[in-house]
Amino acid sequence: MSNQAIIDDLTARFGDSLIDIHEPYGMLTLTAPRENIIDVLQYLYNHKTFKFQFLTDITGVNYAELPGNEFAVVYHLHSWTNNVRMRIKVFAPAEDPVFPTATGLFASANWMERETFDFFGIVFRGHPNLTRVLNMEDMDYFPMRREYPLEDQTRHDKIDAYFGR
């Protein structure tokens, strides 16, 4: 089974809604619209040949420099039958970082979505227990968001030339 066979099948099924299809280091990667990500995951899961039935990981990414697409959820899928992996990205704006839950399809998505919520503040609509898992419940911010400078701007003891700037 080749990446091209998967691309051809997905394109026939979902048309132009799947974009940015490429293969960095041989791993099929594509971007799907938020409103039908569960349909794409379900299709890949139930496909008689592909059988992407193992969810390796779900994570979030904060692209603060991309207006309108500041948050992404990235799904890593694995077909044990064919020993093929693929990645699906889904984007949302900062003012509405809400995605549908994949817990109905993958039980393992429960913890992964909670972790993504905990660190990025990404909400998974329909999740059975979307609460923090690693940080304290009373935390009022999400530590992986790129909302704060990386360095203390009040320090004057650093010389930029020493740090390659």
Show me where the domains of the chain are located: 3-149
Q: Which CATH superfamily is domain 3-149 in?
A: NADH:ubiquinone oxidoreductase Nqo5 subunit (3.30.460.80)
Q: What is the pTM assigned to this prediction?
A: 0.87
Nearest Cα residue to 64 out of 119, 121, 146:
146
The Cα–Cα gap between 89 and 40 comes to: 11
Per-residue pLDDT tens over the stretch 30-73: 999 999 999 999 999 999 999 999 999 999 999 989 999 999 99
- Whole-number pLDDT of residue 143: 82
